[in-house]
Chains A and B, each alone.
Chain A
Amino acid sequence: MTTTAATVPNPIGIPPEPDTWSIGPPRLLAAGYDAMRPYDRVAPRLLNRDQLIRDTTTVGLLGRGGAAFPVAAKLRAMPRRRAATVVVNGSESEPASYKDRILMRHSPHLVLDGALVVAHALRARRVLVAVNDEPAAAALHHAVGHRSDARTVRIAGTGGRFAGGEARAVLRALGGGPAIAPGRRVLPSVRGYRGTPTFLSNVETFAQIGLLATLGPRAFADTGIADEPGTTVLTVTGAVGRPGVVEVPHGTPLSVLLCEVGAAPGAAILLGGYHGSWWTGDPAVPLSRPILAAAGATLGAGVVCVLGPETCPLAELAHVTGYLADESAGQCGPCMFGLPTLAHDLQRAVGGHRSAASDLRRRLTLVPGRGACAHPDGTARFVESGMRAFVADIERHRTVGGCGRPMRGHLTVSPTWQEVAR
């Protein structure tokens, strides 16, 4: 059932990278470690606007950056008569995520294919790839230099931390501003990069579009489920035997993935990263964005974190919330003051403080929807679902002052893979 990607020595010479493999035949990861080879594939099949909208509708392609917005709807929202820009968001600012870097480093041509297919369909004059990782930028530069159709592509470095990866923060950084979301919510399709209508999506979304253009919708739907054909690329971290980046067909049961990565029985599962939620439902729930959305959960940017039964979940929750508070851009009051307060309340809950849980519940209503970006909303969702998932632990800390387990740091807050896979 498992196919391991080719184990050619890593050509870029970078520190340890996540293990990369797939359940079932690899697709996005099938390009393997050929980033540095000459580009010998045929150019992607170019589609016009209506064809691309039709094909992305047929396969129900959803954005892979976190919001799972339908790609076809995003394409349809682009105005026809204005010079458009295509932006590949490769900033990957979530510490537990690594899949975008893997795709850019090892399948840069596929990512570029997708970006160029969209650019052709929208008659965009500019394609920008926002990257926050040197090996990924090097692989993309190399790939651009080896193809004749990529003259419009520019690779741009973006700084920025967690909240700097949000779409409008990235657009602002690309335009020369700070990597923080602007105060007014204007859709990028209306006014994006330097005021032009902009189609922006996550790296994996473009890789999927590249694949869809090459395969066509019928072959694209050879794997996955009717609700959501195709595959998705996940980053699995935490208390597992084999952390890494895994490509899975949509519909793969969560329990199969957990077995594949060697998660301990009784582990708690966080779906969607640190803006996601703890999954306490059916352990065999199919991994698919529409199915999880119907259950009130999200795959986010494809991050699955596993918390082993030997660590204190409340302390882990408090630790990550403290990190998220530090990552606030600090420009909106309710986020700047609210998130540290949530982290502090969680620390109080760890210490068994009587009023900690009720304080948390009250303050959780004061955070969502009150910022320029979704950082406060995502953090509140993470904390709120943690309080539901670990209600017994909160009670135990409150009554006996603790659970006797140390904080082992299963939830990483470091973006380097060595730390993640510790």
Chain B
Amino acid sequence: MTRSWRERRIHVDWTRCDGHGLCAVLFPEVIGSDEWGFPVIDGRPLSPDEIVHARRAIASCPALALRLETRSVKQPARST
């Protein structure tokens, strides 16, 4: 028996990002910014509650540099 679920993360297209910084303002829990103004995103998958904030940050990017990336993860159930 395997368990499977979807992990979602924010992905930055670095060729598009110009460091406007709106995402870091809108979603500071996950997106910080570096000394040059570019987003620093902690790599952990987003929790269901965070998805709505993530979508807002993504939609606000003037350079359309952000995407929600979904990855399916499969893990065998632990034996008891």
Contact = CB atoms under 8 A, between A and B. Distances in A.
Contacts of B18: 333
Interface in A352-387: 363, 366, 370-372
A334 B15 CA distance: 10
B66 to A, nearest CB: 11
A184 B18 CA distance: 16
Contacts of B16: 183
B15 A338 contact: no
B13 A334 contact: no
B14 A331 contact: yes
B19 interface: yes
Contact of B36 (A180, A183, A334): A334
Interface residues of B, number: 14
Contacts of B19: 333
A183 to B, nearest CB: 4
A184 B13 contact: yes
B22 to A, nearest CB: 15
A183 B38 contact: no
Interface residues of A, number: 17
B36 A338 contact: yes
Task: Name the prevailing secondary structure of the A interface residues.
Answer: loop
Interface in A307-335: 331-335
B34 interface: yes
A351 interface: no
B61 interface: no
Contact of B14 (A334, A363, A366): A334
B14 A333 contact: yes
Contacts of B17: 332-333
Contacts of B59: none
B14 A370 contact: yes
Which of the listed residues B14, B18, B19 has the most CB atoms from chain A within 10 Å of its own CB? B14
B35 to A, nearest CB: 8
B51 interface: no
A182 interface: yes
Interface in A24-73: none
A333 B13 contact: no
A338 B15 CA distance: 15
B14 A372 contact: yes
A164 to B, nearest CB: 14
A372 B16 CA distance: 10
Interface of B: 12-19, 34-38, 40
14 contacts: A181-B15, A183-B16, A184-B13, A331-B14, A332-B14, A333-B19, A333-B37, A337-B36, A338-B36, A363-B35, A370-B12, A371-B14, A372-B13, A372-B14
Given A366-B35, A366-B40, 13 more contacts: A181-B15, A182-B15, A331-B14, A332-B14, A333-B14, A333-B19, A334-B34, A363-B35, A366-B34, A370-B12, A370-B14, A370-B38, A372-B14
